[in-house]
Amino acid sequence: MENCRNFGGLLACLGLVAILTACGGRSVNETPDAVLKSVLADKFLIGVAVNSSQAAGLDSIGAAVIKKHFNSIVAENCMKSEEIHPEEDRYDFRLSDEFVRFGEENNMFIIGHTLIWHSQLAKWFCIDEKGEKVTPEVLKKRMKEHIYTVVGRYKGRIKGWDVVNEAILEDGSYRKSPLYEILGDELIPLAFQYAHEADPDAELYYNDYGMAHEGKRNAVVALVKKLKEQGLRIDGVGIQGHMGVDHPDYEELEKSIVAFGQTGVKVMITEWDMSVLPTVNSGANVADTVSFNDVLNPYPTELPDSVAVVWNERMGTFFRLFEKHSDIISRVTVWGLSDGDSWRNDWPIKGRKDYPVLFDRNYQPKPFVQQLLKKKNE
Ligand code: GLA
């Protein structure tokens, strides 16, 4: 309760009391021995993406639940290049320093996310002062400096890095991002080379979504083999695991877990969540309020039991898949602590209400999580 020492912390603590009261006096600490990290200790690390208020302890309830249940954390946003390196000659380490301190203080396996990604990329990264694409030489120099500085700052403290994020499309081709257009096939190997040079002991990962697609699966397997043939270090493949109630296909995902494992690297579920909302494309007409509420945002107050049952069963099914492959899966990380924290409420359209992660808006574990916790007590 160290955060009760300041005014912001006091308000947060009063909030905690209010929530506990609303929950009929049950506290998040009710069963101190039944915590996810101990239930899963012989299987894999259990991680969560942490936002800046949690890392700073401003969200003291969230921070307490994270400390209680998780033994690995990843930075939700503060290490993306637009945040940590907003201008070529200016880094901003305030939030990332807090994030790493939070992990160290709580003895967690800390993941850095992410070094090279086409999205949330600092605006200056690929262009010159005239707004034109830089040459390959300039981009290599910038990438090297960026990776050396960020990885170097947390050398020995951040244990694993998502070196490259989302560079391959579902058909297996390389994403034609500005980064790729400038460096082509050199892009990914160079990123891994620089990261390894900056911290030879850090684990290095390739991370992507849509990994159940055959084209992407084959391309990622080929990438891992190619990096290894080139003598580069790659320790793991991250399957993001952003799911819906209709995707991914269970069998196809299992094939990918097995295929990645067969390359000899660790497999990680790195950004697990499961939306209950209808899939929309960015062309959806959100100006039509009636259809928005009825069709695209069907559960604006609470999740009906019938849908919750489907969600919990499906989450449980995938969790058992991860447990089944715990010989190769080294970590399962959830993308966000509570439903209220999740990016899914605002993507791909803003202002919907989703229910995608392990803890509800009152920080209570969902039924399938309660099942996991109960197993330990039986
Ligand atoms: C991708 C990224 C994450 C995050 C999510 C949405 O999966 O890897 O960093 O931005 O999208 O929050």
Residue 9's pLDDT band, with cuts at 50, 70 and 90, is very low
For the cut 50, the answer to whether the pLDDT of residue 13 exceeds it is no
Does the beta carbon of 83 lie inside 6 Å of ligand 1?
no
Ligand 1 centroid – CA 117 distance (Å):
10
d(C-alpha 349, C-alpha 209), whole Å: 19
Catalytic residue status for 76: no
Q: Return the DSSP state at 293.
A: I
State the DSSP string of 14-65.
HHHHHHHHHTTT--TTSSTT--HHHHTTTT-EEEEEE-HHHHHTSSHHHHHH
Task: Decide: 240 in ligand 1 pocket, CB within 6 A.
Answer: yes
pLDDT of 203 strictly over 80? yes
Strands, E assignment, the chain: 45-50, 72-75, 109-117, 160-165, 203-208, 236-239, 242-244, 266-275, 329-334
Q: Under a CB-based contact definition with an 8 Å cutoff, are residues 164 and 189 in contact?
A: no
The Cα diameter of the chain in Å comes to: 66
Average pLDDT over residues 299-325: 97
Residue 31 buriedness (CB in 10 A; 0-12 / 13-18 / 19+): middle
**Cα angle for residues 186, 191, 193 (degrees, 5° grid):** 95
Could you give the CA distance from residue 128 to residue 134 in angstroms, rounded to a whole number? Answer: 6
pLDDT for 349 equals 85
Work out the angle at residue 76's Cα, subtended by the Cα atoms of residues 165 and 364, and round it to the nearest 5 degrees: 130
What CATH number is given for 2-17+35-377 in this structure?
3.20.20.80
What confidence category does residue 2 fall into, taking pLDDT thresholds of 50, 70 and 90? very low
Instruction: Tell me, in angstroms, the distance from the centre of ligand 1 to residue 14's CA.
Output: 32
* Cα 10 to ligand 1 centroid, rounded to whole Å: 32
Atom of ligand 1 nearest to the CA of 166: 8
- Ligand 1 centroid, distance to 80 Cα (angstroms): 10
Q: Is the CB of 271 under 6 A from ligand 1?
A: yes
Instruction: Say which of 82, 166, 214, 323 is annotated catalytic.
Output: 166
Q: Give first-to-last CA distance, the chain, whole Å.
A: 31
- Indicate the top mutation candidate among 96, 111, 207, 335 to test ligand 1's pocket, ranked by most ligand atoms within 8 A of CB: 335
Q: Work out the average pLDDT over 205-211.
A: 98
What phi, psi does 45 have (nearest 5°)? -65, 145
At position 310, the amino acid (one-letter code) is V
Q: Bridge-partner residues for 164, per DSSP?
A: 116, 206
> Which token pair is 268?
């990680």
Per-residue model confidence as pLDDT tens digits over 86-121: 999 999 999 999 999 999 999 999 999 999 999 999
pLDDT at 22 over 90: no
Ligand 1: does its nearest atom lie under 6 Å from the Cβ of 341?
no
CA distance 150 to 166: 20
Hey, whose CA ends up nearest to atom 6 of ligand 1? Answer: 343
Each residue of 39-88: pLDDT tens digit? Answer: 999 999 999 999 999 999 999 999 999 999 999 999 999 999 999 999 99
Catalytic pick among 271, 302, 313, 323: 271
**Angle of helix 187-198 relative to helix 136-153, nearest 10 degrees?**
30
Bridge partners of 338, per DSSP, are 359
Cis ω for the linkage preceding 356 (within 30 of 0): no
Is it the case that residue 204 has pLDDT exceeding 60? Answer: yes
Atom of ligand 1 nearest to the CA of 120: 10
Atom nearest to 209 CA in ligand 1:
7
Give 22 Cα–ligand 1 centroid separation in angstroms: 32
- The type of residue at 264 is G
pLDDT exceeds 90 at position 10: no
pLDDT tens for each residue of 127-186: 999 999 999 999 999 999 999 999 999 999 999 999 999 999 999 999 999 999 999 999
The pLDDT tens digits of the residues spanning 318-372 come to: 999 999 999 999 999 999 999 999 999 999 889 999 999 999 999 999 999 999 9
Say what the pLDDT of residue 290 is.
Answer: 61
What is the Cα–Cα distance from 147 to 193, expressed in whole angstroms?
10
Instruction: Give dist(CA 37, CA 39) in Å, integer.
Output: 6
pLDDT > 80? residue 283: no
Evaluate: CB of 343 within 6 angstroms of ligand 1: yes
For residue 251, what are the contacts with CB-CB under 8 A and spacing of at least 6? none
Task: Pick the residue whose CA is nearest to atom 4 on ligand 1.
Answer: 76
Among protein residues, the one with the nearest Cα to ligand 1's atom 12 is 343
The tokens for 208 are 């992507």
271 carries an active-site annotation: yes
Find the 306 Cα to ligand 1 centroid distance in Å. Answer: 29
